[in-house]
Amino acid sequence: MSVRIRSDLDELPAYVAGRTVPGSIKLASNEVSGGPLPSVVDAITNAAHEVHRYPDMAATELVATLSERLEVPTERIAVGCGSVALCQQIVQATCGPGDEVVFPWRSFEAYPILTRVAGAEEVRVPLTGEHALDLEGMLAAITPATRVVFVCTPNNPTGTSLRGEELEDFLRRVPSEVVVVLDEAYREFVTDPEAPDGVELTRQWDNVVSMRTFSKAYGLAGLRVGYAVGNPEITTALRKVYIPFSVSAVAQRAAVASLGATAELERRCAEVAAERSRVRDALLELGYEVPPTQANFVWLPLGERSGAFDEHCAAAKVVVRAFGGSGVRITIGKREENDAMLSAAASFEG
Ligand code: PMP
Please list, in sequence order, all residues whose beta carbon lies within 8 angstroms of the beta carbon of residue 174, skipping any fewer than 6 positions away.
139, 142, 149, 180, 207
pLDDT band at 245 (very low <50, low <70, confident <90, very high): very high
The confidence score (pLDDT) of residue 203 equals: 98
Atom of ligand 1 nearest to the CA of 214: 16
Atom 9 in ligand 1: residue holding the nearest Cα: 84
Ligand 1 first shell, C-beta below 6 A = 30, 82-84, 108, 152, 156, 183, 185, 213, 215, 221, 226
Whether the ipTM is more than 0.85: the answer is yes
* Other C-beta atoms lying within 10 Å of the C-beta of residue 97: 9
Of the listed ranges 5-9, 135-139, 143-147, the one predicted with least confidence? 5-9
pLDDT above 90 (res 38) = no
pLDDT band at 34 (very low <50, low <70, confident <90, very high): confident
Atom of ligand 1 nearest to the CA of 108: 3
Residue range 122-130: average pLDDT? 98
What is the CATH number assigned to the segment(s) 7-30+263-346?
3.90.1150.10
pLDDT band at 35 (very low <50, low <70, confident <90, very high): confident
Pocket mutation for ligand 1, best pick of 86, 89, 108, 182 (most atoms within 8 Å of C-beta): 108
Q: Model confidence over 260-271: pLDDT tens digits?
A: 999 999 999 999
Residue 345 backbone phi and psi in degrees, to 5: -60, -35
* Other C-beta atoms lying within 10 Å of the C-beta of residue 259: 18
Tell me which amino acid residue 21 is: V
Residue range 63-87: average pLDDT? 98
| Residue 100, CA atoms < 13 Å, CB-side half-sphere | 13
How far away, in angstroms, is 294 Cα from ligand 1 center? Answer: 15
pLDDT above 80 (res 350) = no
Using alpha carbons, list the distances in angstroms from residue 246 to 40, 54, 74, 116, 205: 20, 10, 19, 22, 29
What pTM does this model have? 0.97
The confidence score (pLDDT) of residue 225 equals: 98
Q: For the chain, which residues make up each domain, given as ranges?
A: 7-30+263-346, 39-259
DSSP for residue 175: -
How far away, in angstroms, is 205 Cα from ligand 1 center? Answer: 23
Helices (H), ranges, the chain: 38-47, 60-70, 83-94, 110-117, 135-141, 164-173, 198-204, 232-240, 249-259, 262-285, 306-315, 335-346
The 3-class SS string of 306-337 reads HHHHHHHHHHCCEECEEECCCEEEEECCCHHH
Instruction: Round to whole Å and give the CA distance between 317 and 319.
Output: 6
CATH number (1.10.3210.10, 3.40.228.10, 3.40.718.10, 3.40.640.10) of 39-259 reads 3.40.640.10
Nearest Cα residue to 207 out of 273, 247, 151: 151
